[in-house]
Chains A and B, each alone.
Chain A
Amino acid sequence: MSNFSVGFRTKEDIRILDLNGELDAHTAAELEAAIQKCQTDNCHRILINGSNLTYISSAGLGVFMAYIEDVRDNGGDIKIAALQPKVYNVFDLLGFPMLFDIVDTEEQAVSKFQAPVEKQ
């Protein structure tokens, strides 16, 4: 039995994925399916709520990496919120905060989606 699940919520045009449990090479396919569903639904603003994510290995990190460029090419983003400290540490190990918006709360992530995009 899988010890990982993904819950879906929607807030305006943002799809919120609530991750629960342990994300490893066995369960990463469920996260991948969830992100693919967002793409199929033409929803490219994806907010990951990690408050109930208790473990992540590189297989989970790899899913975010595999989709971030496509999501951004479609004008969206994957923002990550409310990670437990031990899970944040794994993201931080490989420098993920450089590439992803990782914030403390879901509200902060929503605000970042709603903020005007800076022109380069």
Chain B
Amino acid sequence: MALTEHTLTIPSSTRYLEEVRQFVSKHAAAANFSASVVEHMKIAVDEACTNVIEHAYAGEGKHAVDIAIIISKDKLTVRIRDHGRAFDEKDFSELNLIEYARSRRAGGLGVHIMRRLMDRVEFRTRGDVNECCLVKYRD
């Protein structure tokens, strides 16, 4: 099976998250992933895009977020690219929920959700492009 790629570019605003979820649902379901796996991918990609919008671009809506779904024989990869502030994975150690509640914070849970839902989560920066890759293998 050759690689199939679908792309979507959204402005860096949370109002487009619903469109992102629909895009992921449509193509993951068409690639014959189960309904529960499609749901997991939808959440993970939502979390990755939210991080880009709120952290890499600090809530400024004038930038672009590029999303690509790459489907191959054994896996589905979602690649999210931005030109904002790079993400530092070292800031995210294992989650302690009780400590988290005491801190009265509201953010920072998304990366933990992505890691639990996907088989691989990778962040890299090349030049001024940040890239997050979310990978789900077929059973």
Interface residues of A, Cβ cutoff 8 Å to B: 3, 22, 24-26, 28, 32, 55, 57-59, 61-63, 65-70, 86, 90, 93-96, 98-99
Contacts and interface: CB of A to CB of B under 8 A. Distances in A.
B104 A26 contact: no
A65 B106 contact: yes
B101 A99 contact: yes
Interface in B52-66: 53-54
Name B's interface SS. Answer: helix
26 contacts: A22-B18, A25-B14, A25-B50, A28-B106, A57-B43, A58-B47, A58-B50, A58-B109, A58-B112, A59-B50, A59-B106, A59-B107, A59-B110, A62-B105, A62-B108, A65-B101, A65-B104, A69-B104, A90-B43, A93-B117, A94-B97, A94-B113, A94-B116, A95-B97, A96-B97, A99-B97
Contacts, number: 82
A62 B107 CA distance: 6
Interface of B: 13-15, 17-18, 21, 36, 39, 43, 46-47, 50, 53-54, 95, 97-98, 100-102, 104-110, 112-113, 116-117
